[in-house]
Amino acid sequence: MSYVTHEAMRLGLCGLAAGSAAGLTWRAAGRVRWGPLPFVLAVLVAARFDHRSDWPRWDAMAAAGAVVVVLAGFGAGRLLAESAGAWRWVAAGSLISAAGVWAGVPETGPALLAGGGLTGLALSAALTRARWGPAAGAGVAAVIGWAALSGAAGRPWASIGGALCAGMAPWYAVPPLFSTRSRAPIAGPWLLGAHAVLVILAARWIGVQTHAGWPRVALLAAAGVAVAGMTRRRA
């Protein structure tokens, strides 16, 4: 079965166009540091243009996934607050997360729209010398979370696995990993590599499995917390 279909390309390009337009509009308005609004608007406009109304099917597992998404918003905000250039690493990580959601949930349309939108926002920020501010972490988590929870289409472990495709971000929201005397996390190749590994495991070890089980979720969470703690010590 081919995943590169006309429909997939159309959805991805629609998200890319909406994300690029949102980014260029924000920069033309004089906004150098972006918050969550352009991210949410880009995906909403793209979904509206494609006449899509994907919404999560709420149950206990989807609610657990939503908690992970909220943590990811806080964690991404911490990473974005590290330095002016950290947004590029977070942007790269968000694209990996979107790819993981695409690979881990049964309905891939939302992931294509979200991934295209994030790509457009990253490209427009780089071209116009803007950047994603700490508040943009909430926008990134929101669009990836929407793609994960709506794309799960009611499959419990796809909801959890898709949400866990946020990778490293949720574990930087865990307060015990931080102290007032410690420096901010180091965003860079080492952290991005760990993020990619966690995303692959979340998508293929949990998301696509119909009976993944909580032990796998616990192991993945422990790995994320451990990597976050190691990154703190490297700081």
What are the average pLDDT values for consecutive 10-residue runs of the chain, which has 235 residues? 76 95 94 95 92 84 94 93 88 97 94 96 96 96 96 92 95 68 63 95 94 94 89 56
Q: How far apart are the first and last CA of the chain?
A: 45
> Looking at residue 185, what is its pLDDT?
56
Identify the pLDDT of residue 233.
52
Sketch the domain layout of the chain as residue ranges.
6-234
Place of tokens 């206990």: 60
Q: In Å, how far are 75, 86, 211, 212 from 143, measured between CA atoms?
A: 15, 20, 26, 24
Q: The tokens 């490209």 sit on which residue?
A: 123
What is the structure's pLDDT at 216? Answer: 96
Q: Which residue carries 């979370």 as its tokens?
A: 145
Closest listed residue to residue 169, CA positions, set 68, 81, 95, 33: 68
Question: Residue 56's pLDDT is what?
Answer: 83
Q: Read off φ and ψ for residue 132, nearest 5 degrees.
A: -85, 120
Helix (H), strand (E), coil (C) string for the chain: CCCCCHHHHHHHHHHHHHHHHHHHHHHHCCCCEECCHHHHHHHHHHHHHCCCCCCCCCCHHHHHHHHHHHHHHHHHHHHHCCCCCHHHHHHHHHHHHHHHHHHHCCCCHHHHHHHHHHHHHHHHHHHHCCEECCCHHHHHHHHHHHHHHHHCCCCHHHHHHHHHCCCCHHHHHCHHHCCCCCCCCCCCHHHHHHHHHHHHHHHHHHHCCCCCCHHHHHHHHHHHHHHHHHHHHHC
What separation in angstroms does the CA of 142 have from each of 44, 60, 200? 11, 19, 20
The pLDDT of residue 183 is 52
User: What confidence score (pLDDT) does residue 181 get?
Assistant: 46
Token pair of 200 as six digits: 């692959």
pTM: 0.91
CA-based angle 64:66:72, to the nearest 5?
110
